[in-house]
Chains A and B, each alone.
Chain A
Amino acid sequence: MFVYRPIEHDDLPAFVTLVGRADHGLTSLPKDRAILEQRLETSLESFERSDLPRWKTSYLFALEDRDRAGLAGCSGCYGQVGGEVPYFAYRLDTMRIGGKIDMPRDIRILEVMEQQHGPAMVGSLLLDPSARGRGVGRFLSLVRFLFMADHRLRFEHRVIAELRGWIDQDGGSPFWDAVGRHFFRMDLPEADLHTHTIRGFVQHLLPRQPIFVDMLPRKAQEVIGGVHPNTLPALDILKDEGFTLTDWLDPFEAGPVLIADVGELRTVARSEVVSARTRTTPPTTTQPIMVSNRGLRDFRAILLETEPAHDGGILLSAEAMDALQIAEGAQVRACALPASRRGGPHG
């Protein structure tokens, strides 16, 4: 059984291993033990304190497989992007020239967008290759919204998700090579690392002048707003959940940024608060259902095949009740896990 819970001090070695095994690092979770330890500490502080401004919070969760050692995955959510260090993105826009001489042209530009009071964000999702399938990837993505549903005011009312842009077979990014490399003068993984170690790294190295898309190499133009095929299932999951594409792009690889109103997310809107009781007989029909104990520091969520909630109650196995660390009759939040569109290995 998979249990989703806040990441703890004791998880650090397994966490480092999980990040190390990923094909490509995430900007938010670089392959550096010291930085990962720092992220873990910030996360625990966010769960434990109630006086932090939203932009200082980040909630990191571990996906634990009770039948195995190690972490099967992790994912996280952030109260607000921006704050002391602004949030940067490129915005794809058009500039109209030649109107006055009746020779109008619209040229595509990338404009730097800087936000200090941005939306909330979900990210930091990693799934160990061994745990793929049976909806675990979808669970890891959507269970964050079960948490957000019970702690609405810890998050801005809108939320973004950045998807990893196009990376070619060698791990390079055509957009990075055409744009960012000229300013940052290093490889992409190194730049990702420096966003954590050098204060104001992007703020002080990214020029604010717009970039004319037509002047970029063709390959770089083609990947603007695109995602790697491996990331397409994640895009579908988020769109089905209620996210829409913005015209913002990650400034390093030009991956797309999606946005949604938290209150309108499928998991937030359709999940129900019901009371949980131990089932004594096996269920007749089952569906994959996400269930959380509505906690904060003691948050626990599971994915299990069971009968959906009805009449204000849900029946859970004794093992599930134990995994959620709840007593008989406790309130839980439950939501059916939507089916995968593609039925592929990342399910």
Chain B
Amino acid sequence: MAETIDVAFIDGRRCCGRGAPVRRRGPLGNDRPEFRAANRDDVDQAMRSAARAFPAWSRTPFAERLEIMQRYADAARAQRESLAGLLAEEVGKPLWECREEAGAIAGKVDLTVRAFAERAVDRATELEGFRGMLRYRPHGVFAVFSPYNLPMHLPNGHLVPALLGGNTVVIKSSEHAPRSALALVELLLEAGLPAEAVQLLPGERETGEAIVAHPLLRGLAFTGSSTTGRAIHRALGGRTEVITALEMGGNNPMLVLDDTDPAVMGPLVALSSMLTAGQRCTSARRLIVPRGAHGDAVVQAVVQACAGLRISSALTEPEPFCGPLVAPEAADAVFAAYEARVAAGAEVLLPMHRIDALSPAALSPGVLDVTSAPPPDAEVFGPLLHVLRVDDFEAGLAAAADTHYGLSAALCGGTETEFDRFRDAVGAGIVNHNRPTNGALSTQPFGGSGWSGNHRPAGFFSVDYCVWAMASTEAESVTLPGRLPPGMSNS
């Protein structure tokens, strides 16, 4: 008999959604515990509860809000091992990677304090007879939509600045990782956050749509696919009172020139494209390499490095590089994309296989040369790397820039001038030199252009969309100016 778990937190209570049951399979192909989605009534109840809690929370002094968030960080640190275990179970990532993710939760609090101090601190200016004040205000009810690939670190990146800024938060958890979001909520409650200041709504598309449509929504931070992100953007068209920050996908290029060492490039590209089984928005998707012997050696080294990656389930020893994808349907979609490209004429450099012995969600890395069969400009969220051979550096720049996405890009080799030209050509948010496309710095903004974002980067700049600036001029009492303009008399 399928078991049902309660993964909603509405109006201060852990509970069960009143919507349709959600039955999914996990990374090892087994049935995940069933849960019920939050329906429109649940969404309404949660949004109203968060709205009622907003005045008191926003008026709580920053220092007190910070104390709570610091206790949250302490609790996250203390429970790192069990949080990592939960991540491994829900997403299928290896334990070493889950420990990194769990370990990153606490650090966001101090980072956010710094970000507020640098980017959104109240300011006073003394003027002749009055004072100019700049104050940063929270928006109100702020929704955080979580993806499945880093279902603690990514929503944490929005909810910490949102709560610290004085907003109340409504989290829409991923249907693949509802318990990871619940774990964050429980850490917040343990830290003393007023129970109505955070709400948790599990569910699928309908739950998300109901949140977006709700009249009490004032802010939304979304991490996920470009398709969904742009649908949200359309749905909010005309609702100027809602601030949205959309962190979406990428079709990230790596241009590797001839002054690189193939023995280094092999593992570097494999890391950049296959980490987390290719389930990172910053994963390298397109490897662009000039034609010739050196280029051939680079491609060969990459194929070898990818072929040698150890793939197995989270709790096996010795530790694997990556595990299966989050669910069988994710693997189905990636494998179908691979087969379509092969059918369209792509040359197979490393065949992608299903690893049935491990799980219906497990795929081995695939590398395709698509030079003569350019694939559609789409993000394939899995361990698939496309190789493009080009004639020269100029053609490489054009190929790198040839995408509607703009999240990350990397140039390996080349001079300062060439990197300068690369930055001009590629309008991505994260552009690196001699480094992989992933592994962004937390002290920098994280976001993309085009189909990758809406100019509201997260990371260090996340405070920018969590608060807004209110300007005031303030005088002690009402007085007329010494000199009135012409046409006005004193009497």
The 7 closest A-B pairs by CB, nearest first: A157-B14, A53-B82, A50-B78, A115-B3, A117-B5, A153-B190, A51-B81
**B residues 373-414 in Cβ contact with A at 8 Å:** none
| Of B1, B33, B79, the contact of A50 (CB 8 Å cutoff) | B79
Assess whether B13 is interfacial by the CB under 8 Å rule: yes
Output the least CB separation between B388 and chain A (Å): 46
Interchain nearest-CB distance for B256 vs A (Å): 42
> Is A70 on the interface with B (CB-CB < 8 A)?
no
For residue A116, CB closer than 8 A to chain B, the reply is yes
Cβ of A91 < 8 Å from any Cβ of B?
yes
CA distance A263 to B13 in the complex (A): 9
B85 within 8 A of A: yes
Q: What are the residues of chain B within 8 A of A152 when measuring CB–CB?
A: 189
Chain B contacts of A272 at CB under 8 A? none
| Residues from chain B with Cβ under 8 Å of A52 in the complex | 82
Residue A162, interface by CB 8 Å: no
A109 to chain B, nearest CB (A): 11
Q: Check if A116 sits within 8 Å of B33, measured CB to CB.
A: yes
Q: Is the beta-carbon distance between B79 and A51 smaller than 8 angstroms?
A: yes
B184-199 Cβ-contact flags toward A at 8 Å (1 or 0)? 0010011000000000
Do A153 and B186 touch across chains, with their CB atoms under 8 A apart?
A: yes
Once bound together, how far apart are the Cα atoms of A99 and B406, in whole Å? 60
Say yes or no: A116 contacts B85, CB within 8 Å: no
Interface centre among B1, B78, B179 (most CB of A within 10 A): B1
A-B contact pairs, 11 of them (CB 8 A): A53-B82, A53-B85, A113-B1, A114-B1, A115-B3, A116-B3, A116-B33, A153-B186, A153-B190, A157-B13, A263-B13
Chain B: minimal CB distance from A112 (Å):
7
Known: A50-B79, A111-B1, A113-B3. 12 other contacts (CB 8 A): A51-B79, A53-B85, A53-B86, A113-B1, A114-B3, A116-B3, A116-B33, A117-B3, A118-B3, A153-B189, A157-B14, A263-B13
User: Do A117 and B33 contact each other (CB < 8 Å), given the known contacts A50-B79, A157-B6, A157-B14?
Assistant: yes
What is the predominant secondary structure among interface residues of chain B facing chain A?
Answer: helix
Contacts of B186 in A (CB 8 A): 153
Task: Let me know if B80 is at the binding interface, CB within 8 A.
Answer: yes
**Residues in chain A near residue B33, CB distance under 8 A:** 116-117
B78-95 interface (Cβ within 8 A of A): 78-82, 85-86
B190: chain A residues within 8 A (beta carbon): 153
Interface residue tally of chain B, by bracket? 10 to 19
Give Cα distance in the complex from A50 to B76, angstroms: 10
- Say how far A1's CB is from chain B's closest CB, in angstroms: 33
Considering only residues 61-115 of chain A, those with a C-beta below 8 Å from chain B are 91, 111-115
Whose C-beta in chain A lies nearest to the C-beta of B187?
A153
Complex-state Cα separation, A115 to B3, whole angstroms: 6
Residues of B within 8 A of A (CB): 1, 3, 5-6, 13-14, 33, 75, 78-82, 85-86, 179, 186, 189-190
Chain B min CB distance to A78 (Å):
16
How many chain A residues sit at the interface, stated as a range, is 10 to 19
A114 surroundings in chain B (CB, below 8 A): 1, 3
A65 shortest CB reach to chain B, Å:
35
What's the least CB distance linking A133 to chain B, in Å?
38
Which one, A91, A117, A158, contacts B1 given CB within 8 A? A91
CA distance A111 to B386 in the complex (A): 51
A128 to B203, CA, bound (A): 50
CB distance from B90 to the nearest CB of A (A): 12
Nearest opposing residue in chain A for B74, CB measure: A50
Given known A117-B33, A263-B13, contact A51–B1 (CB-CB < 8 A): no
Q: How far is the CA of A117 from the CA of B79 in the complex (A)?
A: 18
> Which residues of chain A have C-beta atoms less than 8 A from B78's C-beta?
50-51
In angstroms, Cα B490 to Cα A69, docked, is 96
Q: Separation in Å of the B336 CB from the closest CB of chain A?
A: 31
Chain B residue contacts of A263, Cβ below 8 A:
13
CA gap between A117 and B6 in the complex, in Å: 9
A153–B75 alpha-carbon span in the complex (Å):
11
A304 to B475, CA, bound (A): 63
CA distance A115 to B80 in the complex (A): 25
Please name the residue on chain A nearest to B33 by beta carbon: A117
Alpha-carbon separation in the docked complex, A153 to B6 (Å)? 15
Q: Nearest A residue to B1 by beta-carbon distance?
A: A113
Interface contact A51-B13, CB-CB below 8 Å = no
With A116-B33, A153-B186, A153-B190 as known contacts, state yes or no: A51 contacts B80, CB within 8 Å.
yes
The docked-state distance in angstroms from the alpha carbon of A116 to that of B179 is 13
* Chain A neighbourhood of B79, CB < 8 A: 50-51
Q: Complex formed: what's the CA distance from A315 to B215 in Å?
A: 51
Q: What residues of chain B lie closer than 8 Å to A117, measured between beta carbons?
A: 3, 5, 33, 179
C-alpha spacing A116/B33, complex, angstroms: 8
Contact of A112 among B1, B14, B86 (CB under 8 A): B1
In the bound complex, CA of A50 to CA of B78 (Å): 6
**What's the minimum C-beta distance from B474 to chain A, rounded to whole angstroms?**
41
Q: Which residues of A contact B86 (CB under 8 A)?
A: 53
Q: Which residue of B lies closest to A93 (CB)?
A: B1
Bound together, the chains give a CA A118 to CA B82 distance in angstroms of 17
A115 / chain B contacts, CB cutoff of 8 Å: 3
Report chain A residues within 8 Å CB of B3: 113-118
Q: Which residues of A contact B1 (CB under 8 A)?
A: 91, 111-114
Cα–Cα, bound, A153→B85 (Å) = 18
Q: Which residues of B contact A53 (CB under 8 A)?
A: 82, 85-86
Per the bound structure, the CA–CA distance linking A20 and B86 in Å amounts to: 39
> CA–CA, A50 to B186, complex, Å?
13
- With a CB–CB cut-off of 8 A, which chain A residues contact B85? 53
Determine how close the nearest CB of chain A comes to the CB of B179; give it in whole angstroms.
8
Residues on the A chain within 8 Å of B75, using CB: 50
Q: A11-40, CB under 8 A of B: which get 1 and which 0?
A: 000000000000000000000000000000
